[in-house]
Amino acid sequence: MAEFDLSFSPSSFNDGGSFKLLELPPDLCKLIEHAIDNILQIKGQAGDDAVLCTAEKTFAVRSVALSNSVLVVTPPLDASAPNFTDDALVIRDQINEILELTPSVPKLHALTALLRGREYDDGQENDEMYEKPPEDMAIEFKYTYYDALRNIQASDAELDRGLKDRHILNINGELRPIAPSYLNRLLELILNGLTALSLSHESASVEILSSSLADEHEVPRVVSTQVMSWFGIIKDGRWKMEVNTFIKEVGLGVLRHHRQEPIRLNQLMAKWKSLVGDTFENHVDLSLLSGNYLVSISDQESLTYFPASSLPIDPAPRFADLFSTRSRWKGKDISPFLADIAINSKERDKLLLKFARATTDPEGTWYTARAQYNG
């Protein structure tokens, strides 16, 4: 066994507390071992629980106390010192905790508050408004894509997916959520444009379609091309529609008007099919709207708009809202409202076990609250 001559470093007083021991999950360890330019980022504002982000994933960081202290030792900082030997080591710090990483959902909900009041709506279709202002001109506050990269607790890839899923435009670097009513108008215009221009939804010319929207409806190309990218794939100047994603948003446009007053299922389906036309009516399916509606307990044919995206992101208040809305939930009905706060089905089941009680009857599994919530 090797032997070393240990002593305290002259800088140990200043170094105390400056070293942290980080435990890497196996997949992250392999990523670091095989990646040449891999970047790890710790993200979080004052008061936030820190997260660690890779290029693709987000990990929650939590401190776990160690039963035994760990000493951080290094060779002497000054190797030219008279008493320096090859077996000399100095104690730089003492560690009493380890930082543990666990996969986490990205904290994209902060975008909603940061971008409130910045919606892009109908009547703003003017390319000139997106010309960069002179550098000496004072401009109002803008939240940019680079602000989001620095501050939002998500990996770069998760942030990009979040902007797409939340329908947030990036115009000259500024982030602007598109108004849902205007988005649905654009989707209708795209459908009409495909028909009028005899374009296939599987390979439509982006230039032809965006030019038509700009010339006939004053929709800026920077807007129309991003909307197309949200609902399909753009490659080599051609757009291939992701049909279910597109059809789902059209259906949500119908459902959004019924947060207070329910809509009959047959009315929803009829209007939805009418909007998407004969080409896509066979793709209309209520399952596409999962996690965005409630079925009336007294009338199974009546639906109200109830989006999971409007619920709190933290599990405890999320369950409080769910059980204040409905005292009992079937397993298949509550699961869609937990998808965005659980990294996978295993984590979702852990949340149900923690915050809900399960009972089974001939109709299936039901969940009720473990705590009493006041509606």
3-state class (DSSP) for residue 173? coil
- For 47: left if phi > 0, alpha if psi spans -120 to 50, otherwise beta; the answer is left
pLDDT at 123 over 80: no
Supply the pLDDT for residue 81.
Answer: 56
At which residue do the structure tokens 């495909």 appear?
Answer: 194
pLDDT tens, position by position, 71-84? 888 887 665 555 55
Is pLDDT larger for residue 177 or for residue 29?
Answer: 177
What does the pLDDT read at residue 375? 45
Q: How many H helices and E strands in the chain?
A: 13, 17
Identify any residues that bridge with 45 across adjacent strands, giving them in sequence order: none
pLDDT of residue 82: 56
Token digits of residue 287: 């399952």
Q: Return the SS3 of 299.
A: coil
Burial class of residue 287, CB neighbours in 10 A (0-12, 13-18, 19+): exposed
Q: pLDDT, tens digit, for every residue of 199-231?
A: 999 999 999 999 999 999 999 999 999 999 999
92 or 137, higher pLDDT: 92
For the chain, percent of residues with pLDDT exceeding 70: 88
Straight-line distance from the first to the last Cα atom of the chain, in angstroms, rounded to the nearest whole number: 67
**The residue type at 226:** Q
Please give the pLDDT value at position 262. 95
Please name each of the domains of the chain with its CATH number: 5-103 (no CATH), 110-241 (no CATH), 311-375 (1.10.10)
> What pLDDT is attached to residue 48?
84
| Confidence (pLDDT) at 129 | 46
Residue 164 · residue 127 · CB < 8 Å: no
- Residue 117 amino acid letter: G
Q: Is the pLDDT of residue 145 over 80?
A: yes
Confidence of residue 243 (pLDDT cuts 50, 70, 90): very high
> Which pLDDT score is estimated for 133?
47
Quick check: 23 and 99 in contact, CB under 8 A?
Answer: yes
Per-residue DSSP letter, 287 = G
Average pLDDT over residues 337-341: 95
In Å, what is the CA distance from 314 to each residue of 47, 105, 109, 188, 311?
Answer: 15, 11, 10, 35, 9
DSSP label of 76: -
Residue 43 has pLDDT above 70, yes or no: yes
> Residue 86 above 70 pLDDT?
no
Helix, strand, coil share (%) of the chain residues, nearest 5: 40, 25, 35
Q: DSSP states of 78-95 as a string?
A: -TTSTT--TTEEEEEEEE
Q: What is the reported pLDDT for 136?
A: 47
Cα 14 to its chain centre, rounded Å, is 40
- Is pLDDT at 356 greater than 70 in this prediction? yes
Does residue 28 have a pLDDT over 80?
A: yes
Rounded CA separation 161/157 (Å): 6
pLDDT digits (tens, 9 = 90+) for 253-274: 999 999 999 999 999 999 999 9
Quote the pLDDT of residue 138.
41
C-alpha–C-alpha distance, residues 115 and 136, integer Å: 25
Residues listed for the chain: 375
**pLDDT mean over 312-325:** 94
Residue the block writes with tokens 């970047």: 39
Q: What is the mean pLDDT of residues 288-317?
A: 93
Cβ-count burial of 268 within 10 angstroms (0-12 exposed, 13-18 middle, 19+ buried)?
buried
Give which of 355, 346, 357 is closest to 316, Cα–Cα: 355
Mean pLDDT for all residues in the chain = 88
* pLDDT for the residue 191: 97
Question: d(Cα 306, Cα 290) in Å, to the nearest integer?
Answer: 10
pTM of the model: 0.84
155 pLDDT higher than 80:
yes
The pLDDT value recorded for residue 137 is 39
How many CA within 13 A on the CB side of residue 179? 12
Per-residue model confidence (pLDDT) at position 152: 95
pLDDT at 323: 96
HEC-encoded secondary structure of 83-152: CCCCCEEEEEEEEEEEEEEEECCCECCHHHHHCCCCCECCCCCCHHHHCCCCCCCCCCCCCEHHHHHHHC
User: Could you give the residue ranges of the DSSP H alpha helices within 197-291?
Assistant: 206-217, 221-230, 243-255, 265-276
What is the enclosing helix (H) or strand (E) of 105? none
